[in-house]
Structure 1
Amino acid sequence: MDDYPLLNLFWTMLWLFLWIMWFFLLFKIITDIFRDHTLGGWGKAGWLIFVLILPFLGVFVYLIARGKSMTEREMKQMQENEAAFKSYVQQAAGPGGGSADELHKLSVLKDKGDITQEEFDRAKAKLLA
């Protein structure tokens, strides 16, 4: 263990962390290049070549030039995903999605004595059908 002191272990872990973060940033930028609908094909190809051929310079120039719009595209994508999820949940719940609310109202009416058990059963069967 004397061959590899603790400080060297720290530096190795730091460089490994920075290397992983660099690849994360590189993939994030490449994803953003393809996500951007305002760029044409040649613009996307140019940025991609710039980022891949001169990675350090390309990434930093991309972040300086398009960093703000990168955040806007990310937010737009998140909002679209959330809307699609909500739409899916509503579609999966079916047209009777509000039936739990209606059943609760019927139960309250029955408990207050405003409707009989037979009326409650008929309305419940109609809601669940």
Structure 2
Amino acid sequence: MAANTYLAYDYPLLSAFWTMLIFFLWIMWFILLFRVVFDIFRDDSLSGWAKAAWLLFVIVVPFVGVLAYVIARGRSMGSRELARAQAQREEFDKYIRDTAAQQAPPSSVDQLAKLSEIRARGDITEEEFQRAKEKVLS
């Protein structure tokens, strides 16, 4: 009698590896699915009807729909993500610049403390300190 041998189930360690592989692929599939759906909604070059058609295709026939979307629009998918990240970075940098520009100039007490620290380090002489102090106080 020849019994069928299923390596993944006859050897417990292989069964654990097989389960981890299937679980990993399942998680990767959902990540890809959500990235495609988000890209469909974020793409400004697609009309509403095209977005609806792609979304219907991805929902009704998920494996074929996602693979077709990645084949047809995969390259532009990456460039759109890059453009969105750059725009977000520029917006953040602009916010930082605007916030920094709105801050009040340092007070005379802060400037005197900084001058005193510079003098204590020996970077300026006593004469330079006195001149700078007069400028700050005037």
- TM-score by length of structure 1 reads 0.76
Taking the aligned partners of 2:100 and 2:18, their CA distance within structure 1 comes to 54
- Tell me if 1:44 matches 2:51: yes
Deviation at 1:91, TM superposition (A): 2.0
Q: Alpha carbons of 1:7 and 1:114: their partners in 2 closer, same or farther (altered >3 Å)?
A: same
Deviation at 1:71, TM superposition (A): 0.9
Taking the aligned partners of 2:88 and 2:11, their CA distance within structure 1 comes to 48
Greater Rg over alpha carbons, structure = 2
User: Residue 126 of structure 1 aligns with which residue?
Assistant: none
Per-residue CA distance 1:13-40 (angstroms, 9 max, x = gap): 1000000000000000001001100001
Residues 90 and 97, structure 1, Cα contact 8 Å, conserved in 2: no
Match of 1:20 among 16, 23, 27: 27
Taking the aligned partners of 1:71 and 1:46, their CA distance within structure 2 comes to 21
Match of 2:134 among 102, 119, 123: 119
Taking the aligned partners of 2:68 and 2:11, their CA distance within structure 1 comes to 38
Taking the aligned partners of 2:16 and 2:69, their CA distance within structure 1 comes to 33
Q: Which runs of 5+ in 2 are unaligned?
A: 1-9
- Tell me if 1:9 matches 2:16: yes
More contact order relative to length (CA 8 Å, sep ≥ 6): 1
Taking the aligned partners of 1:64 and 1:23, their CA distance within structure 2 comes to 17
Taking the aligned partners of 2:105 and 2:75, their CA distance within structure 1 comes to 41
Deviation at 1:92, TM superposition (A): 2.0
Q: Which runs of 5+ in 1 are unaligned?
A: 124-129
Deviation at 1:119, TM superposition (A): 2.5
* Percent identity of equivalent pairs: 45
The root-mean-square deviation of aligned C-alpha atoms, in Å, is 2.9
Taking the aligned partners of 1:29 and 1:119, their CA distance within structure 2 comes to 65
- TM-score by length of structure 2 reads 0.72
Q: Alpha carbons of 1:9 and 1:118: their partners in 2 closer, same or farther (altered >3 Å)?
A: same
Match of 2:76 among 66, 69, 83: 69
